[in-house]
Amino acid sequence: MMSNQMLVDRLLNEEYTVGEPWKLPKGTGFVLPILGAPPFPGRNYVLLQEVKDKVTFTDSGNISRVDVTNKVGSPVYIRKGTVLKAGTQPRSPISGYVLEPIPKTVPLAVNCIHASRGIRAGGIFNVRGLAPHSIYMALGNQSRTWASAGNWSRRTRAGGSGSAVRYASRAGGVSALSTSLSALGDDNIADALDRIEEVKGTVEDVLANIPGDHVNQVGIAVFDLRGVVAVETFDHPDSWQAFSDGLPEVT
Protein backbone atom coordinates (compact mmCIF):
# COMPACT_ATOMS: atom_id res chain seq x y z
CA MET A 1 0.00 0.00 0.00
CA MET A 2 1.28 3.47 -0.91
CA SER A 3 2.00 6.09 1.75
CA ASN A 4 -0.04 9.30 1.83
CA GLN A 5 3.00 11.41 0.89
CA MET A 6 3.83 9.14 -2.04
CA LEU A 7 0.26 9.50 -3.28
CA VAL A 8 0.43 13.30 -3.15
CA ASP A 9 3.81 13.32 -4.88
CA ARG A 10 2.61 11.09 -7.71
CA LEU A 11 -0.61 13.03 -8.22
CA LEU A 12 1.40 16.26 -8.42
CA ASN A 13 3.73 14.63 -10.95
CA GLU A 14 0.71 13.55 -13.02
CA GLU A 15 1.60 9.87 -12.78
CA TYR A 16 -2.01 9.29 -11.80
CA THR A 17 -5.31 10.98 -12.54
CA VAL A 18 -8.39 10.93 -10.33
CA GLY A 19 -12.01 10.04 -10.93
CA GLU A 20 -15.16 11.71 -9.68
CA PRO A 21 -15.24 11.85 -5.84
CA TRP A 22 -17.87 9.77 -4.06
CA LYS A 23 -19.28 11.10 -0.77
CA LEU A 24 -19.37 8.71 2.15
CA PRO A 25 -22.89 7.82 3.38
CA LYS A 26 -22.27 9.50 6.74
CA GLY A 27 -20.11 12.39 7.86
CA THR A 28 -18.04 14.74 5.74
CA GLY A 29 -15.64 12.29 4.12
CA PHE A 30 -15.32 11.27 0.51
CA VAL A 31 -13.58 8.61 -1.60
CA LEU A 32 -11.39 9.57 -4.55
CA PRO A 33 -10.80 6.93 -7.25
CA ILE A 34 -7.16 6.77 -8.36
CA LEU A 35 -6.65 6.06 -12.06
CA GLY A 36 -3.45 4.82 -13.65
CA ALA A 37 -2.15 5.60 -17.12
CA PRO A 38 -1.75 2.77 -19.66
CA PRO A 39 0.17 0.89 -20.84
CA PHE A 40 0.43 -1.05 -17.59
CA PRO A 41 3.28 -3.47 -16.87
CA GLY A 42 2.47 -7.15 -17.08
CA ARG A 43 1.56 -8.73 -13.77
CA ASN A 44 3.98 -11.39 -12.50
CA TYR A 45 1.79 -12.18 -9.49
CA VAL A 46 -1.84 -12.79 -8.54
CA LEU A 47 -3.88 -11.75 -5.52
CA LEU A 48 -5.15 -14.38 -3.11
CA GLN A 49 -8.70 -13.29 -3.96
CA GLU A 50 -8.15 -14.58 -7.51
CA VAL A 51 -6.90 -18.07 -6.56
CA LYS A 52 -8.55 -18.85 -3.23
CA ASP A 53 -9.17 -22.49 -4.19
CA LYS A 54 -5.48 -23.07 -5.02
CA VAL A 55 -3.93 -21.81 -1.77
CA THR A 56 -4.37 -23.97 1.33
CA PHE A 57 -4.40 -22.52 4.86
CA THR A 58 -4.09 -25.03 7.72
CA ASP A 59 -4.32 -24.43 11.47
CA SER A 60 -0.92 -25.20 12.98
CA GLY A 61 -2.33 -25.46 16.50
CA ASN A 62 -0.43 -22.29 17.41
CA ILE A 63 -2.59 -19.18 17.85
CA SER A 64 -0.06 -16.96 16.07
CA ARG A 65 0.75 -19.21 13.09
CA VAL A 66 -1.12 -20.66 10.12
CA ASP A 67 0.54 -23.03 7.63
CA VAL A 68 0.00 -22.06 3.99
CA THR A 69 0.71 -23.90 0.72
CA ASN A 70 0.81 -22.27 -2.71
CA LYS A 71 -0.44 -24.56 -5.50
CA VAL A 72 -0.78 -21.82 -8.12
CA GLY A 73 2.60 -21.85 -9.85
CA SER A 74 3.05 -18.09 -9.58
CA PRO A 75 3.66 -15.63 -6.71
CA VAL A 76 0.54 -14.93 -4.64
CA TYR A 77 0.03 -11.73 -2.65
CA ILE A 78 -1.78 -12.16 0.69
CA ARG A 79 -2.98 -8.85 2.09
CA LYS A 80 -2.76 -7.99 5.76
CA GLY A 81 -6.24 -8.21 7.25
CA THR A 82 -7.50 -11.10 5.09
CA VAL A 83 -10.03 -13.05 7.16
CA LEU A 84 -9.39 -16.81 7.41
CA LYS A 85 -12.35 -18.79 8.74
CA ALA A 86 -12.84 -22.48 9.58
CA GLY A 87 -14.14 -24.80 12.27
CA THR A 88 -11.39 -23.38 14.47
CA GLN A 89 -10.29 -19.93 15.63
CA PRO A 90 -10.55 -17.45 12.73
CA ARG A 91 -7.25 -15.68 12.03
CA SER A 92 -5.91 -12.77 10.01
CA PRO A 93 -2.35 -12.12 8.70
CA ILE A 94 -0.54 -9.38 10.61
CA SER A 95 1.29 -8.13 7.51
CA GLY A 96 1.26 -8.45 3.74
CA TYR A 97 3.00 -11.54 2.42
CA VAL A 98 4.07 -12.84 -1.00
CA LEU A 99 4.04 -16.62 -1.38
CA GLU A 100 6.77 -18.05 -3.57
CA PRO A 101 5.56 -20.06 -6.60
CA ILE A 102 6.59 -23.41 -5.15
CA PRO A 103 4.37 -26.14 -3.59
CA LYS A 104 5.98 -25.82 -0.18
CA THR A 105 4.20 -25.30 3.15
CA VAL A 106 5.37 -22.15 4.92
CA PRO A 107 4.35 -20.43 8.19
CA LEU A 108 2.22 -17.29 8.07
CA ALA A 109 2.16 -14.94 11.08
CA VAL A 110 -1.43 -14.22 12.16
CA ASN A 111 -3.57 -12.90 14.98
CA CYS A 112 -6.72 -14.61 16.23
CA ILE A 113 -9.87 -12.52 15.66
CA HIS A 114 -12.32 -14.64 17.71
CA ALA A 115 -11.06 -15.08 21.26
CA SER A 116 -13.92 -17.23 22.56
CA ARG A 117 -13.47 -19.99 19.98
CA GLY A 118 -11.05 -22.88 20.49
CA ILE A 119 -8.14 -23.95 18.29
CA ARG A 120 -8.36 -27.14 16.23
CA ALA A 121 -4.98 -28.16 14.82
CA GLY A 122 -5.23 -29.35 11.23
CA GLY A 123 -8.37 -27.36 10.48
CA ILE A 124 -8.56 -25.97 6.93
CA PHE A 125 -9.40 -22.29 6.55
CA ASN A 126 -11.54 -20.57 3.95
CA VAL A 127 -10.73 -17.05 2.73
CA ARG A 128 -13.56 -14.74 3.85
CA GLY A 129 -13.05 -11.16 2.74
CA LEU A 130 -11.19 -8.43 4.62
CA ALA A 131 -11.13 -7.35 8.26
CA PRO A 132 -12.66 -3.97 9.14
CA HIS A 133 -10.19 -1.07 9.23
CA SER A 134 -10.11 -0.78 13.03
CA ILE A 135 -9.11 -4.44 13.35
CA TYR A 136 -6.62 -4.10 10.49
CA MET A 137 -4.85 -1.32 12.40
CA ALA A 138 -4.61 -3.47 15.56
CA LEU A 139 -3.13 -6.54 13.85
CA GLY A 140 0.33 -7.37 15.14
CA ASN A 141 -0.75 -7.03 18.77
CA GLN A 142 -3.00 -9.91 19.86
CA SER A 143 -4.55 -8.12 22.85
CA ARG A 144 -5.37 -5.02 20.79
CA THR A 145 -6.76 -7.20 17.99
CA TRP A 146 -9.16 -8.96 20.36
CA ALA A 147 -10.24 -5.63 21.86
CA SER A 148 -10.82 -4.11 18.42
CA ALA A 149 -12.73 -7.19 17.26
CA GLY A 150 -15.03 -6.98 20.27
CA ASN A 151 -15.62 -3.25 19.84
CA TRP A 152 -16.35 -3.55 16.13
CA SER A 153 -18.72 -6.47 16.62
CA ARG A 154 -20.70 -4.66 19.33
CA ARG A 155 -21.00 -1.48 17.23
CA THR A 156 -22.06 -3.44 14.18
CA ARG A 157 -24.69 -5.42 16.08
CA ALA A 158 -26.10 -2.08 17.26
CA GLY A 159 -26.24 -0.87 13.65
CA GLY A 160 -23.62 1.81 14.17
CA SER A 161 -20.55 0.64 12.28
CA GLY A 162 -19.53 -0.60 8.88
CA SER A 163 -20.31 0.57 5.40
CA ALA A 164 -22.47 -2.44 4.59
CA VAL A 165 -24.62 -1.70 7.66
CA ARG A 166 -25.00 1.92 6.58
CA TYR A 167 -25.91 0.90 3.03
CA ALA A 168 -28.45 -1.58 4.34
CA SER A 169 -29.98 1.19 6.45
CA ARG A 170 -30.35 3.45 3.43
CA ALA A 171 -31.91 0.65 1.44
CA GLY A 172 -34.30 -0.38 4.20
CA GLY A 173 -32.57 -3.67 4.95
CA VAL A 174 -30.87 -2.93 8.26
CA SER A 175 -33.61 -4.52 10.40
CA ALA A 176 -33.00 -7.98 8.97
CA LEU A 177 -29.26 -7.52 9.27
CA SER A 178 -29.43 -6.36 12.90
CA THR A 179 -31.64 -9.32 13.78
CA SER A 180 -29.17 -11.69 12.11
CA LEU A 181 -26.14 -10.15 13.83
CA SER A 182 -27.78 -10.08 17.26
CA ALA A 183 -27.48 -13.87 17.50
CA LEU A 184 -23.69 -13.73 17.22
CA GLY A 185 -21.14 -13.42 20.03
CA ASP A 186 -19.43 -10.13 20.84
CA ASP A 187 -16.22 -11.06 19.01
CA ASN A 188 -17.48 -13.26 16.17
CA ILE A 189 -15.99 -11.20 13.31
CA ALA A 190 -15.85 -13.92 10.65
CA ASP A 191 -19.53 -14.86 10.96
CA ALA A 192 -20.54 -11.19 11.19
CA LEU A 193 -18.82 -10.50 7.87
CA ASP A 194 -20.64 -13.47 6.34
CA ARG A 195 -24.00 -12.08 7.50
CA ILE A 196 -23.16 -8.67 6.05
CA GLU A 197 -22.22 -10.38 2.78
CA GLU A 198 -25.68 -11.95 2.64
CA VAL A 199 -27.34 -8.54 2.89
CA LYS A 200 -25.34 -7.06 0.01
CA GLY A 201 -27.63 -8.60 -2.57
CA THR A 202 -30.60 -6.63 -1.21
CA VAL A 203 -28.73 -3.31 -1.42
CA GLU A 204 -26.99 -3.79 -4.75
CA ASP A 205 -28.30 -0.48 -6.09
CA VAL A 206 -26.59 1.41 -3.27
CA LEU A 207 -23.34 -0.54 -3.45
CA ALA A 208 -23.15 0.26 -7.16
CA ASN A 209 -22.27 3.85 -6.23
CA ILE A 210 -18.93 2.80 -4.76
CA PRO A 211 -16.11 4.07 -7.02
CA GLY A 212 -14.59 0.67 -7.67
CA ASP A 213 -14.92 0.04 -11.37
CA HIS A 214 -13.60 3.07 -13.26
CA VAL A 215 -11.60 2.33 -16.41
CA ASN A 216 -7.89 2.06 -15.47
CA GLN A 217 -8.67 2.38 -11.75
CA VAL A 218 -5.79 1.18 -9.56
CA GLY A 219 -6.92 2.31 -6.10
CA ILE A 220 -8.72 4.79 -3.87
CA ALA A 221 -7.89 7.52 -1.37
CA VAL A 222 -10.27 8.18 1.54
CA PHE A 223 -10.49 11.72 2.94
CA ASP A 224 -12.16 13.44 5.88
CA LEU A 225 -11.79 16.91 7.42
CA ARG A 226 -8.35 15.96 8.73
CA GLY A 227 -7.04 15.08 5.29
CA VAL A 228 -6.08 11.69 3.87
CA VAL A 229 -7.40 8.89 6.09
CA ALA A 230 -6.38 5.87 4.03
CA VAL A 231 -4.88 4.96 0.66
CA GLU A 232 -4.90 1.63 -1.18
CA THR A 233 -3.28 1.30 -4.61
CA PHE A 234 -1.92 -1.41 -6.90
CA ASP A 235 0.25 -1.37 -10.01
CA HIS A 236 -2.42 -2.80 -12.32
CA PRO A 237 -6.21 -2.39 -12.74
CA ASP A 238 -6.71 -6.17 -12.63
CA SER A 239 -5.18 -6.29 -9.16
CA TRP A 240 -7.40 -3.45 -7.96
CA GLN A 241 -10.50 -5.12 -9.40
CA ALA A 242 -9.75 -8.40 -7.63
CA PHE A 243 -9.09 -6.61 -4.35
CA SER A 244 -12.00 -4.17 -4.46
CA ASP A 245 -14.63 -6.92 -4.45
CA GLY A 246 -14.08 -7.15 -0.67
CA LEU A 247 -14.11 -3.42 0.05
CA PRO A 248 -17.74 -3.03 1.21
CA GLU A 249 -16.84 -5.12 4.29
CA VAL A 250 -13.75 -3.17 5.24
CA THR A 251 -14.78 0.05 6.96
Query: Which of 103, 51, 110, 102 shows the shortest CA–CA distance to 86?
Result: 110
44 by Cβ neighbours in 10 Å (0-12 / 13-18 / 19+) ranks as: exposed
Task: Note whether residue 24 is domain-resident.
Answer: yes
CB 130 within 8 A of CB 247: yes
Residues paired with residue 240 on neighbouring β-strands, in sequence order: none
Task: Note whether residue 88 is domain-resident.
Answer: no
**Domain count along the chain:** 1
Task: Note whether residue 15 is domain-resident.
Answer: yes
Residues of the chain with pLDDT under 70: 1-14, 25-27, 157-213, 246-251
Residue 19: predicted pLDDT: 84
Residue 237: predicted pLDDT: 92
For the stretch 60-110, pLDDT in tens is 999 999 999 999 999 999 999 999 988 778 999 999 999 999 989 999 999
Task: Note whether residue 229 is domain-resident.
Answer: yes
Residue 189: predicted pLDDT: 54
Task: Note whether residue 68 is domain-resident.
Answer: no
Task: Note whether residue 214 is domain-resident.
Answer: yes
Which structural domain, as residue segments, surrounds residue 27? 4-42+208-249
